[in-house]
Amino acid sequence: MNNNGIHRKKDSARIVWDSKPRRAPNPKDIEFQTAEVVIPNPETAGQLPMSFQDKLLGEEELDKQKMNRLIWGDNLLAMQALLNQGYEGKINLIYIDPPFDSKADYSHKIKLPASAEATAGKGDFEITKEPSVIERLAYKDTWAGGTDSYLDMLYPRLQLMKRLLAPDGSMYVHLDWHVGHYVKVMMDEIFGVENFKNEVIYSYGAGGVGESFFPRKHDVIYFYSRNPQNYFNVDGDILRVPFSKSTLDVHFKNIDENGRKYRVQIKNGKEYISYEDEGKFVTDVWTDIPAQTATSPISPEATGYNTQKPTKLLKRIITASCPNDGIVADFFAGSGTTLAVAEKLNRRWIGCELGKVGIQVARGRLVEMKSKPFLIENIGNYQREMIYLGGVRIYEMQRIILKLYGAEPMANRKDLGVRKTEDELELVYCGYPDRAVAAHKVEDLAIEAATLDGAGYKRLVILAWDYEYNYDELLQTRLKAAGKDIKTEIVSRQIPPDIYEYLKQAKSEEDIERLSDKVKFLEKPYLKLKKPEVKGNSVTIGIEKYVLYDFPLGSGKKADEDREALLHLVKDNFAVLIDYWAVDWDYDGLTFKSQWQDLRGLGRKTKIVTTEKEHAYEKAGKHTIAVRVVDIFGNDATATLEIKL
């Protein structure tokens, strides 16, 4: 009671900022599209969880809800989709390491051999892969309004994470001095002060002298639970640290028959024995875990990913707060440390990451450790969602993209435009954001282009968000079959995934003209497979050619030098460009099952991939083989071939 007799509510303090979201986000009916079922160890292929879809026919389908999942895309949409698919209250532990420095450098260093014959570490040179524009713009949006826009980003995501947590689940948020204090108050509001467990001080460095302040050598990790009664484990070596020397000297003077030093403590009349070699339970100040340097020349963990965290840190958190049969999630997955540690500790996991480099590094780590099968998924209709969020209709989007490419949209066709070049007019087709462009569609367009507008067009440019499997070879087959009927030159280009950001800025014709120089429509990488060699029940396949028409290295002297060096390397051996390639030996035409993989490796353990692979089949007959190649810049290409044994 105050002096006026009015009762005031306690714990009413809240963090307030002008743009604070008023409503919590709701679940959304957004599909996950399976890009790849990764099976790093063929011996675990039988562990794929299947469910009967038709009890009468006995048809089985992959049960994705029971699999580990690596999701590429915006974590806000991913979490809304997970809630809609029944994950509410199902995740036991969520750890996130969101960006917490507005000046952070999210570029990625890639080491390449100075010659095709060189091995890792000998004669290597380093190129810098800049963040994709979608990553750069997402990060820019996060900090555009300073702390306010950062809180705008994090607030709704924390609200969704709370809903995903199991009733006895726990949440760990890893930050530092930049925004930690703001987020602490925010989490008090979302999770409740009564569910705050610890502010863990993760002190990772020593030495250094500040010019005007003490060296900043620690992060903070805020630990909250969904409810006051949370799962918490106190057993395990990772949860113990050595006793101090002074404690050992004073208290551990007893020695048992095995030569082990111990002490005896009396608590409330009960006797407790502690052994020197067992150590003590860790407190909320962690000083025993060194920082992970992304490019450390001596660390076996180093992946080259700048914000990588040490595995020991995640092992401690997962051991303490996730039961053996639980699910761990990391919605800012980065290089995949959380997922790799969860895999080692035999927990199920879900990871989400916006950057393609993070997805590549995480996949590589999991493949190298021969993990259990897992999914790589895209958020279905992701581009469409982004376009709608930007307030742009699909047909308006096609018109603007055509203009950004320099083409004038046709009055009677929303997906076609005409672009004037130095010597001719070319027909330009803009695809749909939720639809892969198929070879038969392009063939139809090429036939139409020959006579369209009377004189026809000699060149057809395709602008696509994505292309169907085996697009290149299917198109070539169709064009050969058509023979002289199709004389139009076809150029296939990719719409950059960051295009929606430009769509939001393109409010007028002047805006479009200004932005057209900034948007780069890259020519689609080209993949050609070797003719398969069949001997008995075995087949040998290989990559004959992989062509990348442009290297996204930015501008400047260093970028130009790197581009020249890469051109020289690729001329000698195109395999230098390949980061990862995988094979599905029995492709069903629907889901790519990665049953064999080769990758260039991470950190110090890099190599040039092989370009051939032999496989023995158990059954004779016809088989469809699908190959997927992912290059060092994150581009991917696929091709299929048919064999008969």
Q: pLDDT for 36-48, tens place per residue? A: 999 998 888 777 8
Measured CA to CA, the distance from residue 353 to residue 108 in angstroms comes to 15
Domain pair 32-102+146-242+279-380 / 526-644, same fold: no
Cβ-contact 65, 32 below 8 angstroms: no
Q: Looking at the predicted structure, is the pLDDT value of residue 265 above 90?
A: no
Cβ-contact 382, 72 below 8 angstroms: no
Q: Which residue has the tokens 């009664």?
A: 229
In angstroms, what CA-CA distances link 207 with 178, 218, 294, 298?
21, 12, 20, 20
> What does the pLDDT average to over 131-142?
69
Q: Which residue has the higher pLDDT, 222 or 380?
A: 222
> What does the pLDDT average to over 242-260?
89
> What does the pLDDT average to over 329-351?
96
For residue 299, the model assigns a pLDDT of 64
Q: Looking at the predicted structure, is the pLDDT value of residue 348 above 70?
A: yes
Q: Which residue has the higher pLDDT, 518 or 612?
A: 612
User: Which residues neighbour 256 within 8 Å (Cβ) at sequence distance 6 or greater?
Assistant: 262
The winner for highest mean pLDDT among 158-167, 353-362, 593-602 is 158-167
Q: Which residue has the tokens 């071939």?
A: 641
Q: Looking at the predicted structure, is the pLDDT value of residue 391 above 70?
A: no
Q: Looking at the predicted structure, is the pLDDT value of residue 595 above 90?
A: yes
Q: Which pLDDT band, with edges at 50, 70 and 90, does 389 fall under? A: low
List the domain boundaries for the chain. 32-102+146-242+279-380, 386-523, 526-644
Output DSSP code: residue 238.
G
Tell me the pLDDT tens digit for each residue of 169-183: 999 999 999 999 999
> What does the pLDDT average to over 599-613?
86
Name the CATH superfamily for 526-644: Immunoglobulins (2.60.40.10)
Query: Which ranges constitute the DSSP H helices of 222-354?
Result: 245-251, 311-321, 337-344
Measured CA to CA, the distance from residue 459 to residue 472 in angstroms comes to 17
Q: Looking at the predicted structure, is the pLDDT value of residue 298 above 70?
A: no
In the chain, the percentage of residues whose pLDDT exceeds 70 is 89
For residue 126, the model assigns a pLDDT of 79
3-state secondary structure of 392: coil
For residue 601, the model assigns a pLDDT of 85
The winner for highest mean pLDDT among 325-339, 492-506, 601-615 is 325-339
Q: Which pLDDT band, with edges at 50, 70 and 90, does 49 fall under? A: confident
For residue 209, the model assigns a pLDDT of 82
Measured CA to CA, the distance from residue 124 to residue 397 in angstroms comes to 44
> What does the pLDDT average to over 178-191?
95
Measured CA to CA, the distance from residue 237 to residue 277 in angstroms comes to 10
Query: Which ranges constitute the DSSP H helices of 128-253?
Result: 133-143, 147-164, 180-191, 245-251
Q: Looking at the predicted structure, is the pLDDT value of residue 89 above 90?
A: yes
Q: Which residue has the higher pLDDT, 267 or 57?
A: 267
Measured CA to CA, the distance from residue 78 to residue 33 in angstroms comes to 11
Q: Residue 86 — φ and ψ, nearest 5°? A: 95, 15
What architecture does CATH give domain 32-102+146-242+279-380?
A: 3-Layer(aba) Sandwich (3.40)
Tell me the pLDDT tens digit for each residue of 268-291: 888 888 888 888 999 999 999 988
Q: Which pLDDT band, with edges at 50, 70 and 90, does 88 fall under? A: very high
Give me the DSSP letters along 529-565. EPPPEEETTEEEEEEEEEE-S-----SSHHHHHHHHH
The winner for highest mean pLDDT among 159-168, 249-258, 357-366, 388-397 is 159-168
Q: Which residue has the tokens 């367009």?
A: 445
Q: Residue 95 — φ and ψ, nearest 5°? A: -120, 130
CA 480 to chain centre: 39
Cβ-contact 347, 324 below 8 angstroms: yes
Q: Which residue has the higher pLDDT, 184 or 31?
A: 184
Measured CA to CA, the distance from residue 33 to residue 383 in angstroms comes to 13
Q: Looking at the predicted structure, is the pLDDT value of residue 406 above 60?
A: yes
Q: Mean pLDDT of all residues in the chain?
A: 86
Strand partners, 274: 263
Measured CA to CA, the distance from residue 192 to residue 212 in angstroms comes to 37
Strand partners, 286: 202
Q: Which residue has the higher pLDDT, 555 or 607?
A: 607
pTM for this predicted structure: 0.87
3-state secondary structure of 364: helix
Q: Looking at the predicted structure, is the pLDDT value of residue 194 above 70?
A: yes
Tell me the pLDDT tens digit for each residue of 414-446: 899 999 988 889 999 999 877 788 899 999 999
> What does the pLDDT average to over 141-164?
92
> What does the pLDDT average to over 363-390?
81
**Both structure tokens of 630:** 């992912």
For residue 537, the model assigns a pLDDT of 92
CA 29 to chain centre: 21
Tell me the pLDDT tens digit for each residue of 496-534: 766 767 777 777 888 888 887 778 888 888 899 999 999
For residue 621, the model assigns a pLDDT of 92
